[in-house]
Chains A and B, each alone.
Chain A
């Protein structure tokens, strides 16, 4: 309190990430390697109980076919479930099950406001905010007020744009990145040179945001698509703390 007031205004911004739901597709080397590993494992393995049973039953069938005169009386009474039958049954059951598609409708329509897009990548929230006299796409931010920590500023930013019922895990008390800019000369004064935006990271826990979205323009974009919306300097700083 005794220090001279700094000329920078402080903002807290929240980078809300929706974590990937499905695995990323394998590269060619990875696929080949996986196939090789499977083959080596097969070569080095022993027969399993199921396989031994199958082999024995095949032997029996073959022998029965050869000596069909002797065994006819005994065989007829038995209804033995063969291993091959079991395998066929399991195969049938598998074919009946239909999994959800990896490429969703939102992917096909390129609906950037939906959370169901790009299920194998991180998605982050961008909102359109008015700064000065410009409307910009930014990570949600609000100004810091004395008496709260920067982390609570970021939480407030998230709550302002998405409502109170967001379940997000904020990763720690410390900021992840900073973007410093000076105001244009027109509004720059001695006490008000510019602003510092501190970024915080959070993981979205709940997947259902139906009742949460309030304000107007929001987007969920991946790291590559950030370039379409953010300004270059801002983008550079944001890219530093985003892993892909």
Chain B
């Protein structure tokens, strides 16, 4: 029967059209040329759309198969304005005089000595600290073994140890620091 012929012709995506044909049996011949043209367009359209979709999918697959692009680390890329040819050195300062260089060298030597003495004093202080503690522990051991064992146990609550650093001036009581505005301009990259 020609019904089934037409209905098998149609692509499976439009099943409702098949039932549409079967209802109007008498008007079949008349409607055939009218329906044929738009049907062709739709089919070609549908085929064209399908082809387009496939092409897109292939492109997407190709892109995905390619290695993911590395996210640039902004810290490692020197901006162009700091590169060699753009440099503007502070050359307006006069060259150093002989006295100045002498003074600098002597100051550096004094500093070296100062730091050495400071370091030695620190090391000595730490040494006395350790010795005093050892002595205390020795005496404690003589006293009672149990207290000694309690003393040499590790103190879990000691670390992490936090403390406020010393500043140049003590905190001002009742000071309200002015609020600042912070605009975040970090670039976010997606892979």
Kindly state whether residue A80 has any CB partner on chain B within 8 Å.
Answer: no
Interface hit among B2-10, B70-78, B143-151, B183-191? B143-151
Kindly state whether residue A171 has any CB partner on chain B within 8 Å.
Answer: yes
Q: Are A177 and B172 within 8 A (Cβ)?
A: no
Q: Are A29 and B111 within 8 A (Cβ)?
A: yes
Report the separation of the CA atoms of residues A171 and B167 in the bound assembly, to the nearest whole angstrom: 23
Q: Are A174 and B137 within 8 A (Cβ)?
A: yes
Contacts of B139 in A (CB 8 A): 178, 180, 196, 198
CB distance from B78 to the nearest CB of A (A): 13
Kindly state whether residue B135 has any CB partner on chain A within 8 Å.
Answer: yes
The tally of residues in B whose CB lies under 8 Å from a CB in A reads 45
Classify chain A: how many residues form its interface, as a range. Answer: 35 or more
Interface hit among B19-27, B39-47, B56-64, B87-95? B87-95
Could you give, for residues 141-171 of chain B, a 1 whenever the CB lies within 8 Å of some chain A CB and a 0 otherwise? Answer: 0111001001111110010010100111111
Kindly state whether residue B32 has any CB partner on chain A within 8 Å.
Answer: no
**Among all A-B residue pairs, the 10 with the closest Cβ atoms:** A178-B136, A240-B132, A99-B169, A149-B150, A175-B136, A100-B172, A177-B132, A241-B132, A174-B151, A172-B155
Residues of A participating in the B interface, judged by any CB pair closer than 8 Å: 3, 6, 8, 10, 19-23, 27, 29-30, 32-33, 36, 42-43, 45-47, 52, 99-102, 104, 119-120, 149-151, 169-178, 180, 196, 198-199, 203, 237, 240-241, 243-244
Residues of B participating in the A interface, judged by any CB pair closer than 8 Å: 82, 87-90, 93, 104, 107-108, 110-111, 114, 125-126, 128-129, 131-133, 135-137, 139-140, 142-144, 147, 150-155, 158, 161, 163, 166-173
